[in-house]
Amino acid sequence: MKKSIFGIALIFVLAFMILAAFDMRPFGEPTVSEMDDYYIQNAQAETGANNVVTSIVFDYRGFDTLGEATVLFTAVLGITALFREVVR
Amino acid sequence: MKGEMSIIVKTITKLIYGFIMVYGFYVIVHGHLTPGGGFQGGAIVASAFALLVVTYGNQGVNNYLKKDVFSLVESTGLVLFIAFAFFGLGVTFFYNFLANSGGLFGNPAIIGVNPGDLNTGGTVPIMNIAVGLEVLAALTVIILTMSAASEITKEKEN
Amino acid sequence: MIDNFPYIAVAILMGLGFYTLIFKKNLIKIAIGITLIENGANLFLITLGYRKGSVAPIYTQAPEGANMVLPTPQALTLTSIVIGVATTALILSIAMIIYRKYGTINTDEVRRLKE
């Protein structure tokens, strides 16, 4: 009984997602891209790096990377705490 | 020894793991010029360590890959990252104070399509190296801890 | 219609992930389902940033005069992938701890042994 309710809900969600996929704007034509155009044009002059993605990750949006490094550090901390009889 | 793989796998591992590590460090160091960067290169180097763990077993690598050393490398990477973020505090946190300064990593990049100069990018290559050290050490610590724990679980079962 | 194929792939990936989360009892399979949903989200982000006929946003030896795809979704997806690796490692270690404590990774049996 519970499983059939879950199955019906899952079918609804899947149908909704596939309908939304047909309704999205066409693939390959992003509408709003002013910020990315700014990055593409000015990243080389401002950071000196050829790779625009790296200059975003480590310069323009460094706080994201700081948070991500903290998440990775915390995950390692959690794993070593879970297996603390192994680590000693 | 227990947990080792066959002689074929061991021979191929001896031949190939150095190349995997050198390729990973290449991806880290050239992160500001070619596709890749700290995360990807760190994952490649960690895969070399994972290959060693899979081939020789947890007992075989116990004397060479120490968890304490990798924990130290991981903390060093994170501290280096945050330190170079703080060095730019004359303007803002995460300011790229080395770019276009003429010193270390300070050459201005040629605008437009160019073959690439390693001595550009300001703090971006340094951050790449710091994050690369952190990721490779973090993934290696995860692999070593989980392999040791699974071995203990197997012993408890028998 | 065929232009929207990446979005349909996202829907299928996420649907498979939700199916696994709802109907499977094995903790390892649940971890696989979470990873599937995560990959669907990453694919969705990357797809939104694609520009038709463009090259990767890297100037080293790039083709002259070509357009470049949007770099910000790629950078955020990079962050998301690393966070996914960290959370998956944590999930799998918790599954190992549960297996050692209860001798099974079936969620129903874990619940039964607790009582």
Question: What residue numbers bound the domain in which A6 lies?
Answer: 2-87
Query: Hey, are the CB atoms on C15 and A17 less than 8 Å from each other?
Result: yes
Q: Do C82 and B116 touch (CB under 8 A)?
A: no
Chain C residues whose CB is inside 8 A of the B115 CB are 60-61
* pLDDT of chain C, 115 residues: tens digit per residue: 677 888 999 999 999 999 999 999 899 999 999 999 999 999 999 988 888 888 888 888 888 888 889 999 999 999 999 999 999 999 999 998 888 888 888 888 887 665 5
Does any CB of chain A come closer than 8 Å to the CB of residue B18? no
Amino acid at B92: T
C52 touches chain A (CB under 8 A): yes
Is the pLDDT confidence value at B129 over 90? yes
**In the structure encoding, which two tokens stand for residue A45, read together?**
């002059």
Mean pLDDT of all residues in B37-51: 92
Reading the block at residue B128, the tokens are 């790449």
> Does ipTM exceed 0.90?
no
Q: Is A46 on the interface with B (CB under 8 A)?
A: yes
Query: Per the CB < 8 Å rule, is B135 touching C82?
Result: yes
Tell me the residues of chain B between 48 and 107 that have a Cβ less than 8 Å away from chain C.
none
Q: Does A74 touch chain B (CB under 8 A)?
A: no
Give A67 to chain C, closest Cα distance, Å. 9
- What is the amino acid identity at position B46? A
Instruction: Check CB contact under 8 Å for A30 and C97.
Output: no
Q: Which tokens sit at C74?
A: 């790629």
**For chain B, domain boundaries:** 7-106+122-157
Determine contact, residues C103/C112, Cβ cutoff 8 Å: no
pLDDT band, residue A87 (cuts 50/70/90): low
Q: List pLDDT tens digits, range B58-99.
A: 888 888 888 889 999 999 999 999 999 898 888 888 888 888
CA distance C40 to C15: 9
Summarised one tens digit per residue, pLDDT across range A70-80 is 999 999 999 99
Which among C44, C59, C85, C97 is the top mutation candidate for probing chain A, defined by the most A β-carbons within 10 Å of its own β-carbon? C59
> Which pLDDT belongs to residue C112?
67
Q: Is A69 in Cβ contact with B78 (below 8 Å)? A: yes
From A10's Cα to the closest Cα of chain B, the distance in A is 34
Q: Supply the pLDDT for residue B133.
A: 93
Looking at chain B, list the stretches that DSSP marks H as alpha helix, in order from N- to C-terminal side: 7-29, 38-61, 67-87, 124-157
Distance (Å, whole) CA C38 – CA C2: 24
- Among A47, A63, A69, select the one facing B122 at the smallest CB separation: A47
pLDDT at residue B1, as a whole number:
58
Residues of B in contact with A87 (CB under 8 A): 67, 145
Cα(B23)–Cα(B12) distance, integer angstroms: 17
Tokens 């793989």 correspond to B5
User: Which candidate in A6, A24, A77, A85 is best for mutational testing of the C interface (most C CBs within 10 A)?
Assistant: A24
Residues 6+ apart with CB under 8 A from B66: none
- Looking at the complex, does the CB of residue B158 fall below 8 Å from at least one CB of chain C? no
Q: What is the tally of structural domains in chain A?
A: 1
Q: What is the mean predicted confidence (pLDDT) over A14-37?
A: 86
